[in-house]
Amino acid sequence: MGLKIWLTDKLVDEDQAKISVFDHGLLYGDGVFEGIRVYNGKIFKLAEHLDRLFQSAKVIRLVISMDKQALIDASLKTVEANNVLDGYIRLVVTRGIGDLGLNPFLCKQGCVFIIADNVQLYPEELYEKGLKVVSCVTVRNHPLAIPPQIKSLNYLNNILAKIEAIDAGTSEAIMYNHLGYVAEATGDNVFIVDNGVVYTPPIEAGSLGGITRATVIRLAKEQNSQVIEKDLTRFDLYASDELFLTGTAAEVIGVVNIDGRIIGDGKPGPVTKLLKEKFFNYPRS
């Protein structure tokens, strides 16, 4: 049996989950989305994800046809219909059907669809051994072009960076902004540990305001770790004692090699391991 997909106002069979070729989400990447984890049948921090979804939509002047409570109900129904216990939700809002021109206001109503399925971004062994990553040539979108805080359907900037990672035989790539500072990985936020202090780039450097990122910052502070948001350079990554990534699908995963430089002793460090454990045991309801 295929998946049940929430489309507009009801659940439909996977093979009936179709949108128009004139939808501006398809034609122009005009829309927003959220990736949300499900743990033991419970949706993790759904309210925070919906807040970010509505913020992104507001910035691009996209009207979402459902309110937050309706989206909560639809997400819960989609998870239940697909018997997802530990998995992933992709909640997408497109601009809707328009013409072949750019004018978004000719689209009468946005389209909402929700997919709930199982997901595993990295093999379990990489959480034990750590990732190898590379610095990529692709520069993070300039904030005056497409604000990186918008989680938009136009993900080509990240995809081009991901291609660089794949071509290099690595799992991830680190993206830098137009000033040369660390922005984020292709799908995750970046953290380093230096002399016991946890550092992460500020949102203004070109990273998404990650829900997992915020949770990990809170957990680190609860362990009495000092957490500082500051601009980081490539040198800072190379010289760090620990380097790790956070994200909805990735959760917390250590990086042990960047551009051929070994991080620490070549294994995920103690702070990374502690935060991974604390996040794993974080209340999921």
Q: Which of 4, 132, 151, 162 is catalytic?
A: 151
Q: Which residues contact 7 (CB under 8 A, 6 or more apart)?
A: 16, 17, 19, 111, 112, 113
Amino acid of residue 212? T
Is 151 one of the annotated active-site residues of the chain? yes
Which pLDDT score, from 0 to 100, does residue 230 have? Answer: 97
Q: Can you name the CATH fold of 124-280?
A: D-amino Acid Aminotransferase; Chain A, domain 2 (3.20.10)
In the chain, where the domains are located: 4-117, 124-280
**Strand pairing of 242-247 and 227-229?**
unpaired
**Tens-place pLDDT, residues 223-233:** 999 999 999 99
Q: Can you name the CATH fold of 4-117?
A: D-amino Acid Aminotransferase; Chain A, domain 1 (3.30.470)
Which pLDDT score, from 0 to 100, does residue 256 have? Answer: 98
d(CA 228, CA 6): 40
**Tens-place pLDDT, residues 171-222:** 999 999 999 999 999 999 999 999 999 999 999 999 989 999 999 999 999 9
Confidence of residue 285 (pLDDT cuts 50, 70, 90): low
SS3 state of residue 25: helix
**Tens-place pLDDT, residues 53-85:** 999 999 999 999 999 999 999 999 999 999 999
